Amino acid sequence: MSALLRRFNAGSPLARREAISFYLLILPWLIGFLAFMAYPMLRSLYLSFTSYNLLSPPQWVGLQNFERIFSDADFWQSLKVTLLYALGSVPGGTIIALALAMVLSQKLRGVNIWRTIFFMPSILSSIAVAVLWLFVFRPEGGLLNLILGWFGIKGPDWLLSEYWALPALILMSWWSVGGQIVIYLAGLKGIPEVLYEAAEIDGANDLAKFRYVTLPMLSPTIFFNVVLAIIGALQVFDAGWVMTRGGPNQATLFYMLNLYKRAFQMTQMGYASALAWILFIIIMVITLLVIRSSAAWVYYESEAR
């Protein structure tokens, strides 16, 4: 701190005014970060080593919460459900969003209206979306089973079935890919047309242009969307809470839903804080693995290959 003060005093009056302006401008963000991000994280880290039920002061228990987690069947079930959800929702959502972006990037009649239609689900309230899909997945009279009935297929019970509840929520997640579509559209607009012209001169068809031009040039955008999608999928909560409450038979007991029940229904705040930090570590590890893998499949134009 003293070194920073000496450096500040040694600067010119203009440099000092600029420094003061800089710190004044970032002060609101800094206060918000410390009050609403840094302090809650440090507080939850402390609580993860305590037994705390909201009614009495926290009591230090050391690593007991973490030891209890790894012998808790609900933890392993919620982790399995969440990973299966991520494995279904992230690749499927990425493929659907990219395919729709490819279509919506064409010069089609009324394309702006279609872009708006596909983007709207991503800005709707997640609770409202969940309630809407409750009607879609109704076993009797639900829209999805009604459509299947047109083809002579008897639809499953969906949210009432232990085997179909999680696939139903994965299917629902593919509906809200509008945010990814917008980002893919921006990425597609940034691909130089000269690359497609060069590919055509070399005799490339549409599939070859997509494989050797579009995908490599769009790979940084795909990487960005995939990382955000993984982080979001591992923290899913609203759909499981509103639509299934973790059932049937804990088939949709998402990690965040299990954490919520521990914290606010069983008032095991210390245990829930430990669960939160385990999830933080899992997300960090998976994200770092994806980042490390990017060297093999993400192409940056400035890099020499």
pLDDT at position 7 is: 62
| 68 pLDDT higher than 70 | yes
Selected residue with higher pLDDT from 11 and 105: 105
Domain coordinates of the chain in residue numbers? Answer: 2-37, 73-297
Whole-number Å distance between alpha carbons of 62 and 46:
10
Report the Cα–Cα distance between both ends of the chain, in Å, rounded.
Answer: 45
Token pair in block for residue 17: 């005014």
Q: What integer is the mean pLDDT of 203-232?
A: 94
| 108 pLDDT higher than 90 | no
pLDDT bucket at 2, cuts 50 / 70 / 90: low
50 contacts 58 by C-beta, under 8 angstroms? yes
Selected residue with higher pLDDT from 144 and 11: 144
Residues 6+ apart with CB under 8 A from 230: 86, 90, 283, 286, 287, 290
| 303 pLDDT higher than 80 | no
132 contacts 172 by C-beta, under 8 angstroms? no
Nearest to 252 by CA among 164, 140, 174, 142: 164
pLDDT in tens, 248-279: 999 999 999 999 999 999 999 999 999 999 99
pLDDT bucket at 122, cuts 50 / 70 / 90: confident
Q: What is the CATH number of domain 73-297?
A: 1.10.3720.10
- Per the prediction, the chain carries an average pLDDT of 91
pLDDT at position 305 is: 47
pLDDT bucket at 107, cuts 50 / 70 / 90: confident
CA 189 to mean position of chain CA atoms: 24
Token pair in block for residue 264: 């606010």
pLDDT bucket at 19, cuts 50 / 70 / 90: confident
Nearest to 46 by CA among 281, 273, 276: 273
| 113 pLDDT higher than 70 | yes
Token pair in block for residue 100: 């729709």
What angle in degrees, to the nearest 10, is found between the helix axes of 269-297 and 73-104? Answer: 40
Token pair in block for residue 239: 């759909």
Locate tokens 């795909």: which residue? 222
pLDDT bucket at 92, cuts 50 / 70 / 90: very high
Residues of the chain with pLDDT > 90: what percent? Answer: 77
**Residue 105 CA: distances (Å) to CA of 37, 65, 186, 234, 300:** 38, 51, 9, 30, 22
Selected residue with higher pLDDT from 200 and 14: 200
DSSP alpha helices (H): ranges in the chain?
2-10, 13-33, 39-47, 64-69, 73-104, 111-119, 126-136, 143-150, 165-173, 178-189, 193-201, 206-209, 215-234, 238-239, 255-260, 269-297
